Structure 1
Amino acid sequence: MSIRHGITHARQPRKLHDGTLYWPKTMPHIPAYPMLRRREETEVAIVGGGLTGAICAAMLARSGIPCVLIEGKQVASGSTAANTGLIQFCSDIMLSELMGRIGEKNAVMFYHACRKALVTLAQLSSDTGEDTGFYTRSSLYCASCEDDVAKLIREYTMLRKYDFPVSWGIPARVGGKISEVKAGALTTHGDAEINPLRLTHALLAYAVRLGARVYENTGVLEVGRMNGRFTLLCQEGEILARRVVKATGYLPGIVTPSSAGAPILKRSFALATVPGQVPDEWPDHYMMWETARPYFYFRTTPDGRILAGGSDDSLYDPTCDGKLLTNRTNGLLAQLGELFPGHEWQVEDAWCGTFGESSDDLPFLGEHPDQPGIHHALSTGGNGTIYSVIAASLLQDRILGRDNRLSSLLSPGRRTVDASYMPHIPNSPDHSASLFA
């Protein structure tokens, strides 16, 4: 049976970022990958060449599972290039708040999975043998106002109860005006920072060494399924696979059933200062974020820059004029100035990027009941890299026949989301699905 679908999408950015990006400057020689011009047969086809796809390829290849990754443009040129590279086991929704939504047992399970994913990512980074900018860090989670202190204390109590590495208060060696501007804080330990561009290319090189194949400038025109196998028709080649991973992020990809989750698209702003701008009052390369929503955050870089971000709004297209970008950049600098008054900041790069949230603050990962064999890896919120590792783990477990208790909790077909504008695909064992162009 073969069914074709004409598809439109009501909320779709034309591109994923605007402005000038910092990370491409850290890789003067970016690897190139060939275009697919033949037929490939494999176990898993990964559609999307950003950090999510690279994590999936590396974890599958390390497990001996054959895979082919394709990217419609250049590898790591979408959201990955605009990622500010903060990796934390804490989610945008506090553990204590998540308990009220999905129950204490499920919330703790999810948080432990995030912590485990961070450890897995650290090992993957080490296994590549390359400089990925992965460094273990601690994160200062600040109460934005007096009213949030009680909430932060409750979160600290829950994290301690379930053995997460956390301590209370602003460390004594942290100076500036943080203890005056922020009403309270907790510190999580064992978080990390990355260079997302370097990490993506390192993971892909690692996956290729283990047998994976990677192609860029290879868009998918159509996905068909027949006799339990998928055919991905590309411009000049095709892939035959038993499973497909949708790792296209916030750009178009394989059609999602109407009952599946869809991200709430927004945009955020970020900046990178010139080198040598880390204040003396900010030791140990802490990362900082806060309880306000949207929240302000910042981190340092190995060459002494400050990377700061926030100022989110509900517009999903990152295209913006110079005046708007300047205004939002100045707003971020003003928030830095509150913490470190008297410090003069020089901005070298500033950009705007699209990101997505979900209505229940959980990512959309795994198979949808209406699309057996298609694995969704749609990471939402500020913890997307961690969620990408979880997506790859769910896929591994599915292929290897292992149960994973997160499958139903994070399923793109769960009932707690509103995706009324998404198109519908009939539940047919054999069909072809159009792709977004």
Structure 2
Amino acid sequence: MNEHKLHDGSLYWPKTMSFFPTYPSLRERAMTQVAIIGGGMTGAICAATLAEAGIPAVLVEEKRVASASTAANTGLIQFSSDIMMSGLADRIGERDAVAFYAHSRKAVNDLGLLAAAVPQDGGYRVRSSLYCASTDEDAPKLRREYEMLRRHGYAADWGFPAGVGSDFMARYPAAFVTHGDAEINPVRTAHAFIAQAARSGVRVYEHTGVANVRRRGDWFALDCEGGEILARTVVRATGYLPDIEGAAGCEPILRRTFALATKPNSVPAEWNRDHMMWETARPYFYFRTTPDGRIVAGGLDEDSPDPVTGEPELQARTAKLLAELGKLFPGSRFEAEHAWCGSFGESPDDLPFIGEHPETPGLFHALGYGGNGTVYAMLAANMLVARLRGQEHPLAGLLRPREVNRAASGKPAVRKAYGV
């Protein structure tokens, strides 16, 4: 795999772990039905789902499991995509947009069921999301989205929830609340899923890079450091890291984003902790809370594939995030105990790449580019199991790896709303 740094700064989630399970390196030839390349959130969800379905699998991770993008994840689990259902309907038609949102909502629920089936608490908690119009011009667009969601049976309430202060409402001209979202501790969740998969028979190998993937008759041969894996199906759950051939059309648009975690017990009394918040601006500001009373906030996306590595630059972005919180809660003072920058990827058409590429049958791409990566990971696991059982998933045609012309997709470039 190509070396690429995915985050920098002081990460919060690993600090919530007192013990990190470890797994051996591959030192043999292994045969299995499914080989999963990547030990982050997507690989963890796929491994746990395959184990639950009784499908033999091997998972390999080049470094340590749950240590790359998963460690920088902020843990918001929402069925709403970075592109609204109404906007997606304008692009691909209402029928497909509604189907995509329906399966995303199912993925949120399925993730909760998967989390409930493991003994470790990964912090899965049902939450509601407050979606705010950043400008007066965005208010009609937000109203249209609310009405479409309601028309298709989604639980949503127009306006601000009880307890939001007047300063908050003065900042945003309109808002609505969706119900049925969730939050997680991404590092604890990924470790819990991988541990559960290992207990159920999935072989897990750390510090095992994959140098090459080759066809060998009806099998795939994975040339690994220290051994070889033969598998009928290979799952590419490598996130934003380029690794193996056969990924034509799956390249993400790489950017970087910023996040922080405040000190404990700093959530303002007027904020309902059952709610998360985000806005219509692109890039958008968002926040959630943690069980020990922290606020995890993020945003400030920039058009650069590499994380900020200089302390002054990271401090400048952190100050801007704290300033955004201060505008919403002017009576509170916030300090960042942790602050970090991470790389993330988006697809040109705002949809994940999930499924087999026509040129490489048996190579299953589970690439959840976008702000809903964990939801897309659960969706990918569901689609993978359907494919292995010989079933055609309703979204297979829409999400399979495809060539996307970035210029023709109609997707705007990131708005530099928070210049340094």
TM-score between both structures, scaled by the size of structure 1: 0.91
Match runs of 1:157-236 below 5 Å: 157-175=147-165, 177-236=167-226
Q: 2:288 aligns with which of 299, 304, 309?
A: 299
Give the equivalent residue in structure 1 for 2:25: 35
Shift of residue 174, structure 1, vs aligned partner: 2.0
Letter in 1 for 2:392: D
Larger mean CA deviation between 327-336 and 204-213 belongs to 204-213
Query: Does residue 245 of the first structure (1) align with residue 235 of the second (2)?
Result: yes
CA contact (8 A) 1:257 1:370 kept: no
> Which sections of structure 1, spanning at least 5 residues, go unmatched?
1-6, 420-437
Distance 2:110 2:99 in 1: 16
Distance 1:296 1:13, change over 3 A: farther
Q: d(CA) in 1 for partners of 2:201 and 2:154?
A: 36
How far has the Cα of 1:284 moved from its partner? 3.2
Q: Secondary structure at the match of 1:397?
A: helix
User: Is structure 2 residue 7 aligned with structure 1 residue 17?
Assistant: yes
* SS of alignment partner, residue 362 of structure 2: strand
The yes-or-no answer on 1:323 pairing with 2:307 is no
Aligned to 1:46: 36
1:314 pairs with one of 300, 303, 307? 303
Task: State the distance in 2 between where 1:238 and 1:61 align.
Answer: 21
Task: Deviation per CA, 1:29-77: give whole Å up to 9, x if none.
Answer: 1111111111111000000000000000011111111000000000001
| 1:127-167 Cα shifts (integer Å, max 9, x gaps) | 01211011000000000011111000000000000001211
- Moved >6 Å (runs of 4+): none
Q: Is the 8 A contact 2:221 2:228 kept in 1?
A: yes
Measure, in 2, the Cα distance between the counterparts of 1:378 and 1:270: 22
C-alpha separation in 2, matches of 1:346 and 1:24: 19
The answer as to whether partners of 1:274 and 1:346 remain within 8 angstroms in 2 is yes
In structure 2, the residue matched to 1:352 is 341
Q: CA RMSD in A?
A: 1.4
Distance 2:166 2:353 in 1: 39
Which deviates further from its counterpart, 28-37 or 41-50?
28-37
Aligned position for 1:429: none
Taking the TM superposition and a 5 Å limit, the aligned residue runs for 1:262-281 are 262-281=251-270
Task: Tell me the distance in 2 between the aligned counterparts of 1:176 and 1:277.
Answer: 19
Aligned residue in 1 for 2:98: 108
Consecutive unaligned residues in structure 2, runs of 5 or more? 409-420
Residues 225-234 or 116-125, more deviating: 225-234
SS in 2 for 1:311: strand
Offset at residue 222 of structure 1 (A)? 1.4
Contact 1:261 1:417 in 2 (8 A): no
Deviations 1:281-333 (A, max 9, x none): 10233100000000000000000000000011001101420111000000001
Q: Is the 8 A contact 1:360 1:417 kept in 2?
A: yes
Give the alignment of 1:129-144 within 5 angstroms: 129-144=119-134
Cα drift, residue 252 of structure 1: 2.3
Does the CA contact (< 8 Å) of 1:87 and 1:385 recur in 2?
yes
Secondary structure of the residue aligned to 2:361 is strand
SS at match of 2:387: helix
Alignment partner, residue 82 of structure 1: 72
Distance in 2, matches of 1:91 and 1:297, equals 14
Equivalent position of 2:111 in the other structure:
121
